[in-house]
Amino acid sequence: MEKENLFRGYLRLSKFSYFKESNTWNFNFEEKISLQSECLWRFLHGGKIRYTSNDHGQKYGHEKPYDLETEIQKLLHNTALHRIDRNLLTGDLYLEFEQEYKFELLTDSSGFESWSLEIGKRQIIGLGQGDVAKFE
């Protein structure tokens, strides 16, 4: 798999939120990086899937439904983002954190945008079929 590195550094997640009306997830990192996901994502720990975006609001036999906004903010509270990479063929986005945590945003449409990433004044939009649009 050929990847493009979009970010390397050390930033903490300051806000992780879900907007039901638009079915989008927002990631904010210390007001330096913002990411909006409109696609399926997986949250892994140690290489294993811990949650997916489809789990939000599901009960799965628990007393109350999963609140992934709260759960993931708790898990990543003292954990820094180290890198963001993009798969050049599929457009999937990978966010790697300390302690073996990782988000994988999976391109799940051949026509619609999957994600939008802002790093400073640079904006990168994940288009359908794995393509991107970049604005500086």
Domain boundaries, the chain: 3-135
How many Å apart are CA 114 and CA 108, to the nearest integer? 7
Contacts of 125 by beta carbon, 8 Å cutoff, 6+ apart: 113, 115, 116, 117, 132, 133, 134, 135
Contacts of 84 by beta carbon, 8 Å cutoff, 6+ apart: 5, 6, 7, 33, 93, 94, 95, 96, 117
**What are the tens digits of pLDDT across the range 61-86?**
888 899 999 999 999 998 999 999 99
SS3 call for 113:
coil
pLDDT band at 60 (very low <50, low <70, confident <90, very high): confident
For the residues 114-124, what does the mean pLDDT come to?
A: 97
Contacts of 20 by beta carbon, 8 Å cutoff, 6+ apart: none
Q: What pLDDT score does 79 carry?
A: 95
Residue 1 pLDDT > 90, yes or no? no
Pair type for strands 24-29 and 80-87: unpaired
* CA neighbor of 80 nearest in space, from 13, 14, 32: 13
CB 132 within 8 A of CB 91: yes
**What are the tens digits of pLDDT across the range 5-57?**
999 999 999 999 999 999 999 999 998 999 999 999 999 999 999 999 999 99
Residue 119 pLDDT > 90, yes or no? yes
Phi, psi of 69 (to 5 degrees): -55, -50
Q: What pLDDT score does 62 carry?
A: 80
Q: What pLDDT score does 40 carry?
A: 97
pLDDT band at 128 (very low <50, low <70, confident <90, very high): confident
Q: What pLDDT score does 55 carry?
A: 94
Residue 90 pLDDT > 90, yes or no? yes
